Amino acid sequence: MLEHYLNIFAKLRTDKNRNRWSAQICFRAPHKPFLLLSVIDHIAQGTLRKNFIAPGFGLAETFAGY
């Protein structure tokens, strides 16, 4: 099961514009994977229980931590 999710995460589409992103992050926007990790953290903590994710301070704080 873990292999399945690793494969899905590896195939996430991200912005690859070399004019916007530096070599430090491999010329890719890291936002989508970090947002997904933040959501997974909140699901694991039990703070997200519905099939709807509302933006809020807690999610933004977790995202900023990544």
What pLDDT digit, counting tens, does each position of 7-61 carry? 888 888 777 788 887 887 777 777 888 888 899 999 999 988 888 888 889 999 9
Residue-level pLDDT at 65:
92
What span, in angstroms and rounded, lies between the C-alpha atoms of 6 and 35?
15
The answer to whether 41 touches 65, Cβ cutoff 8 Å, is: no
Assess contact for 27 and 16: CB atoms under 8 A: yes
pLDDT value, residue 25? 74
Q: Is-above-0.75 flag for pTM?
A: no
- Please state the domain count of the chain: 1
- Helix residue ranges per DSSP H, 1-52: 2-10, 31-45
Domain that holds residue 51: 2-65
Helix, strand, or coil (residue 9) = helix
